Amino acid sequence: MVVNVVPLTSRKKERSVYPNEALLPAKHSGLKKESIVLCYQIRTLDKKRLVKWYGKLKDEALQQEIIDALSFQLGME
């Protein structure tokens, strides 16, 4: 079985967030640092390669921001 994933990167102080990215504040995402979802780097992986669980994003507003950034990237606005 395969899944689609988008990588994250920690956000530097001056780093802008572009329309094809979404900001994940540390306190809402369970991550240690504020992070950016890189929606322009969509990957398809075999589920067997996913070996570590980092958490689940439950905030519906943040989920929608990611969907919006993915839609922008894929030209589905």
Domains along the chain with CATH numbers? 2-73 (2.30.30.110)
pLDDT (tens digit per residue) in 9-56: 999 989 999 999 999 998 877 788 999 999 999 999 999 999 988 778
* Alpha-carbon torsion (13, 19, 25, 31), positive or negative: negative
Tell me the HSE value of 34 on the side-chain side, using a 13 A CA sphere: 10
**Residue with more model confidence, 28 or 4:** 4
